[in-house]
C-alpha cells in the first residue's frame, strides 16, 4: 500500500489533506519564513536553508525573496539557476530545473492539478504531473508553466506566456497558449 506522498510524487490521485503531507507543507513554510528573514548579504546562510528545503541544488544558484513552494522536497534546482522576485512553485510532483536557467519575476510553476469532472474534483482528491525545464532556459516575467510540461534546452519563453504543452529545444515560444514563434539560430 502506497502512502499519499508516494502517490503524489508518482502522479497518482492522492489526498492533499493527509497528515504526512500537511506536516511536509508546514515544514516548507517554516524554512521559507526563515529564509525570508535572512538579510540579503548573508547569502551563504540563505543557500544553506535552500539546500535543506530542496531535493537537490547546484553549488552556485540564487533565489530572490519572496519565493514560495509547497514542499520544496520535490524541487531539483540546477547549477547557476536563478529565480527573480515572486517565484511560486507548486511541487507536488518533481520539478527539475536545469543548469543556467533564468526565471524572471513572478514566474509560476504548477505541478498540482485537479480532476475536470466536478464530482471527482469536489472530493478533494488531487494529482500532480512532473515538470522539466532544460539547461540554459530563460522564462520571461509572469509566465505560467502548467503541470506535465517539459521545456527543452536553450529555449526562451516570452513574458506572460501560459505554457500548456511541451516546448522543444532551441526555440522562442510565447503567448496564451504558448506557441513556437521561431527557432534560435546562430
CA distance 72 to 77: 10
Q: Among candidates 168, 140, 169, 141, which has minimal Cα distance to 154? A: 169
Number of domains into which the chain is organized: 1
**Is residue 67 scored above 90 in pLDDT?**
yes
SS3 4: helix
Q: What is the per-residue pLDDT for 176?
A: 97
User: CB burial class (10 A; 0-12, 13-18, 19+) of residue 179?
Assistant: middle
Q: What is the per-residue pLDDT for 72?
A: 97
DSSP assignment of 36-50: HHS-TT-HHHHHHHH
Q: What is the per-residue pLDDT for 46?
A: 94
Cβ neighbors of 139 (< 8 A, separation 6 or more) are 101, 102, 103, 104, 107, 133, 145, 151, 156, 157
Structural domain harbouring 145: 4-183
Q: Which of 51, 114, 129, 179 is catalytic?
A: 114
Q: At 92, list the grid cell.
A: 507536488
Average pLDDT, the chain: 96
Q: What is the pLDDT of residues 102-155, one digit of tens each?
A: 999 999 999 999 999 999 999 999 999 999 999 999 999 999 999 999 999 999
CA distance 17 to 125: 9
Phi and psi based region of residue 136 (left: phi greater than 0; alpha: psi -120 to 50; beta: remaining): left
Is 48 known to be catalytic?
A: no
Q: What is the per-residue pLDDT for 40?
A: 84
For the sheet containing 95-97, what is the strand order? Answer: 56-57, 75-77, 95-97, 131-133, 150-151
Q: What is the pLDDT of residues 80-117, one digit of tens each?
A: 999 999 999 999 999 999 999 999 999 999 999 999 99
DSSP summary character for residue 78: P
How would you classify the pairing of strands 82-83 and 102-103? parallel
| CATH, residue 89 | 2.160.10.10
Amino acid at each position: 500500500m502506497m502512502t499519499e506522498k508516494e502517490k503524489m510524487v508518482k502522479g497518482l490521485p492522492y489526498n492533499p489533506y493527509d497528515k504526512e503531507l500537511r506536516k511536509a507543507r508546514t515544514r516548507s513554510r517554516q524554512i521559507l519564513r526563515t529564509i525570508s528573514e535572512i538579510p540579503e548579504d548573508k547569502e551563504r546562510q540563505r543557500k544553506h536553508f535552500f539546500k535543506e528545503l530542496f531535493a537537490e541544488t547546484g553549488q552556485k544558484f540564487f533565489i530572490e525573496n519572496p519565493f514560495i513552494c509547497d514542499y520544496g522536497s520535490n524541487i531539483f534546482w540546477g547549477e547557476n539557476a536563478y529565480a527573480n522576485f515572486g517565484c511560486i512553485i507548486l511541487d507536488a510532483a518533481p520539478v527539475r530545473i536545469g543548469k543556467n536557467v533564468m526565471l524572471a519575476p513572478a514566474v509560476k510553476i504548477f505541478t498540482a492539478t485537479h480532476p475536470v469532472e466536478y464530482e471527482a474534483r469536489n472530493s478533494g482528491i488531487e494529482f500532480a504531473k512532473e515538470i522539466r525545464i532544460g539547461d540554459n532556459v530563460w522564462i520571461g516575467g509572469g509566465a505560467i508553466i502548467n503541470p506535465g510540461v517539459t521545456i527543452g534546452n536553450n529555449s526562451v519563453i516570452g513574458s506572460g506566456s501560459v505554457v500548456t504543452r511541451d516546448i522543444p529545444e532551441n526555440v522562442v515560444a510565447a503567448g496564451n497558449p504558448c506557441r513556437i514563434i521561431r527557432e534560435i539560430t546562430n
